């Protein structure tokens, strides 16, 4: 009986996380500088590094564009050379917690920040750079309050969600043609395109769709940029304080 109850709770939590993840992109995010050029795109990749991150780097280099990679700290071991390559080739590195485990990272603000600091140190030890750009796993929607944001700012962190996404994070087997259609839809919010993609070992179809996505935005005259500490923050509406 206990096992059945635990399975039920786990299933409900999984459904909640997935639904939250799906619904987040429908929420209009806040960019602190809406006057930014709308012909700008940021290619962002979550959940690396992995063996496929290198393949994505090869594609970006082929098209002479740069990307922003939000890394999970406990996945860096064994992929240290990929992290060094990211830095060496001029891509931007962001933080995506250490464990990416929902219950752990959102158990408290202190735990969340601690995981970001742990990953920051790992990256610093490898590259000599301490990234301060972060992304909330599953997005900041319904998690980020003004107090939380102030706390993050006190640690010199800046938050970046997205306004366009591939569903590769929900289903890594989504066909490349569908990923392409998702990545090239009109963006409702003002400012540049911030495209969310993923680069862990399951995302082979993301690699297949990426060249055509890049071609689409190049043909439209977009400028490809990386997110760094000078980029205005972009996050979903803040959670109301209780």
- Look at residue 134 and tell me if it is in a domain: yes
- Look at residue 109 and tell me if it is in a domain: yes
- Look at residue 32 and tell me if it is in a domain: no
Task: Please give the helix or strand (H or E) that residue 224 lies within, else none.
Answer: strand 223-225
Task: Please report the pLDDT score of residue 23 as a whole number.
Answer: 46
Tell me the pLDDT of the chain averaged across its residues.
Answer: 89
Instruction: Read off the pTM.
Output: 0.88
- Look at residue 25 and tell me if it is in a domain: no
Q: How far is CA 15 from CA 8, 43, 122, 141, 201, in A?
A: 11, 27, 32, 16, 23
Contact between 21 and 139 under an 8 Å Cβ cutoff? The reply is: yes
Mean pLDDT of 62-83: 98
- Look at residue 48 and tell me if it is in a domain: yes
Rounded CA gap, 193 and 31, in Å? 11
Task: Compute the C-alpha angle 108/163/37, nearest 5°.
Answer: 120
- Look at residue 6 and tell me if it is in a domain: no
**pLDDT band for position 32 (cuts 50, 70, 90):** low
Domain at 80, CATH number: 3.20.20.370
* 203 is known as an active-site residue: no
Task: Please report the pLDDT score of residue 9 as a whole number.
Answer: 41
Percent of the chain with pLDDT over 90: 81
- Look at residue 3 and tell me if it is in a domain: no
Rounded CA gap, 142 and 26, in Å? 13
Q: Which residue in 198, 200, 203, 234 is the catalytic one?
A: 198
- Look at residue 4 and tell me if it is in a domain: no
**pLDDT band for position 31 (cuts 50, 70, 90):** low
What is the per-residue pLDDT across 96-151, written as a single tens digit (0 to 9) for each? 999 999 999 999 999 999 999 999 999 999 999 999 999 999 999 999 999 999 99
Statement: residue 63 has pLDDT above 70: yes
Query: Domain range holding 107?
Result: 38-232
Chain centroid offset of residue 50 CA: 15
Task: Please report the pLDDT score of residue 16 as a whole number.
Answer: 44
Higher pLDDT, 187 or 6: 187
Pick the closest to residue 70 from 116, 19, 23 (CA basis).
Answer: 116
> What is the tally of structural domains in the chain?
1
* 46 is known as an active-site residue: yes
Pick the closest to residue 159 from 233, 98, 226, 96 (CA basis).
Answer: 233
Burial class (CB in 10 A: 0-12, 13-18, 19+), 79: buried
């Amino acid at each position: 009986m206990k096992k059945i109850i635990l399975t039920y709770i786990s299933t409900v939590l999984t459904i909640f996380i997935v639904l939250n993840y799906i619904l987040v992109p429908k929420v209009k995010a806040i960019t602190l500088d809406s006057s930014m050029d709308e012909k700008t795109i940021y290619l962002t990749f979550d959940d690396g590094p992995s063996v496929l991150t290198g393949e994505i780097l090869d594609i970006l280099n082929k098209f002479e564009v740069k990307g922003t990679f939000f890394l999970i700290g406990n996945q860096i071991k064994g992929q240290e050379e990929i992290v060094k390559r990211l830095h060496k080739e001029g891509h931007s590195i962001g933080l995506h917690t250490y464990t990416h485990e929902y219950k752990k990272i959102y158990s408290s603000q202190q735990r969340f920040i601690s995981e970001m600091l742990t990953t920051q140190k790992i990256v610093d030890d490898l590259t000599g750079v301490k990234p301060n750009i972060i992304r909330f796993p599953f997005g900041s929607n319904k998690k980020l309050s003004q107090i939380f944001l102030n706390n993050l700012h006190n640690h010199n962190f800046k938050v970046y969600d997205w306004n366009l996404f591939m569903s590769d994070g929900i289903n890594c087997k989504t066909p490349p043609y569908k990923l392409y259609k998702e990545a090239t839809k009109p963006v409702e919010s003002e400012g540049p395109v911030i495209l969310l993609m993923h680069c862990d070992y399951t995302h082979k179809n993301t690699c297949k769709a990426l060249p055509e996505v890049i071609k689409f935005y190049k043909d439209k005259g977009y400028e490809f940029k990386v997110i760094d500490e000078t980029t205005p923050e972009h996050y979903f509406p803040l959670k109301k304080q209780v």
